[in-house]
A = this chain, B = another copy of it.
Amino acid sequence: MIAPLTIKVHADDNVAIVVNAPGLPPGTVFPDGLVLKDFIPQGHKVALAEIAEGAPIVRYGEVIGTAVHAIPQGGWIEESLVRLPQAPDLFSLPLATNVPPPKPPLEGYCFDGFRNADGSVGTKNVLGISMSVQCVAGVMDFAIDRIKKELLPRFPNVDDVVAIDHAYGCGVAINAPQAVVPIRTLQNLARNPNLGGAVMVVGLGCEKLQPDRLLPEGAAAETSIVSLQDESHVGFGSMVTAIMEMAEKRLAELDRRQRQTCPASDLVVGLQCGGSDAFSGVTANPAVGFAADLLVRAGATVMFSEVTEVRDAIHLLTPRAATAEVGRRLIEEMDWYDRYLNAGETDRSANPSPGNKKGGLANVVEKALGSIAKSGSGAIVGVLSPGERADRKGLLYAATPASDFVCGTLQLASGCNMEVFTTGRGTPYGLAMVPVIKVATRTELAERWFDLIDVDAGRIATGQATIEDIGWELFRLILEVASGRKQTWADHWGLRNAMTLFNPAPVT
């Protein structure tokens, strides 16, 4: 067991979090003389000085709330004692006022990937089969099952066959203004680098979302679409045969591809967190942020996301926008989401979850301050609306809901060929299309979930490793996984979450 330990993040903080599991009892004395007044669970906050009623509670050097009543020095700052502050006003934010200068380029880092005709690079070689409407799912599942059993074994260079399965396509307000989001998401999912430009679509025929809208540019409808209502299909068997025949041609093409050496700048890495706790912002997320800086220095594309988990720290991001225009785009995405939540008669306090709170996060402000640590310290050079494809290198903000699987689906649409996912409470999250590296915020979780967690960032809290150590470890692991030389635990077990579209428009 380690000695009683707390972590204070910033010199101005009047709170620290308890490192020891499951917590520390009242009477615990720290080297600096602090004595605990209450039992304080692991990850939860202790008052480093008396905090008067109404006074600010400061963590990360930022006000995370005000005290509902006076809290003594050494007292437990339980969630109910923290009054949620107003979110930062969006229309008085500094734009590009503190743009971080570029760091020295990192040269010579490479991985072995599958280069595509459009210049993108896959980290896997996957046959993607999309659908224009959920109606066809039964037939498609039946066909894919047979493709995996009967065809895939004959094409050893192809890693997998993945259905772009979704609930969109018909029974939706396809001309509503917000329908642009799910439609471009589906279009861009089909262009994910790991699908090698070889996507095919199974359609029904009568649906609102006509299948040719899902084809990548230049793909021929007649060789890329199987439409079940087509009069050439007599009976179920002929539908299945048509899908299998098209898949076989695609598999033969994909099978001829070989991995080749590609610079690290061909990586497009999506960053996410889920099941966060109070350690997320001091262990896993800063380590991911350090790796993000390394990736950017190596010329790669890195995207962070999750509007509700960024909203309350937006004043720390707009100064880092590379230009005022990028800053304005950040604000636009926050504002859109404020209005979206407001229309649904809710607000940002719907986040965090019970588990986040159990893990020590008092509210969405504290969660956001920890969440943005994933973005590292570089300039934000671009902003993507939900489902838009990344159009430049460097650090991007890809606006998405915070829901893990919705965010993951949108990052896939934005073109990521790798995901890094941090978790404090633990989640078995995985994606079919790209590898997901999972990073634990606490050693206890990494040890208990020894065959689900890829990197233990909890060593930062106990002083066994630095943020830099774990950042470099992660950077090197990303290159190994991208090359197919190492497998993530999610891929080892075949863990895949559903692709889940973000559809802010009505269903009909």
A contact residues vs B (CB 8 Å cutoff): 134-139, 141-142, 165, 167, 170-178, 204-208, 210, 228-229, 231, 233-237, 239, 274-275, 308, 340-341, 343-346, 348, 350-351, 353-356, 358-359, 401-407, 425-430, 448-452, 489-490, 493-498, 500, 502, 504-508
Contact = CB atoms under 8 A, between A and B. Distances in A.
A346 B175 contact: yes
Given A346-B173, A428-B136, A490-B138, A237 B451 contact: yes
Contact of A138 (B359, B403, B429, B506): B429
Contacts of A404: 134-135, 170-171
Given A229-B426, A236-B489, A502-B507, 9 more contacts: A135-B497, A137-B497, A142-B494, A167-B498, A171-B407, A172-B350, A235-B448, A341-B506, A350-B506
Contacts of A504: 344, 506
A142 B348 CA distance: 34
Nearest to A351: B508
Given A406-B507, A507-B401, A345 B177 contact: yes
A176 B345 contact: yes
A134 B343 contact: no
Given A449-B235, A451-B237, A405 B167 contact: yes
B497 A138 contact: yes
A407 B340 CA distance: 25
A206 B359 contact: yes
A403 to B, nearest CB: 2
Contact of A134 (B228, B425, B497): B497
A236 B138 contact: no
Nearest to A140: B428
Contact of A233 (B239, B403, B448, B508): B448
A36 to B, nearest CB: 23
B358 A206 contact: yes
Contacts of A506: 340-341, 343-344, 346, 350, 504
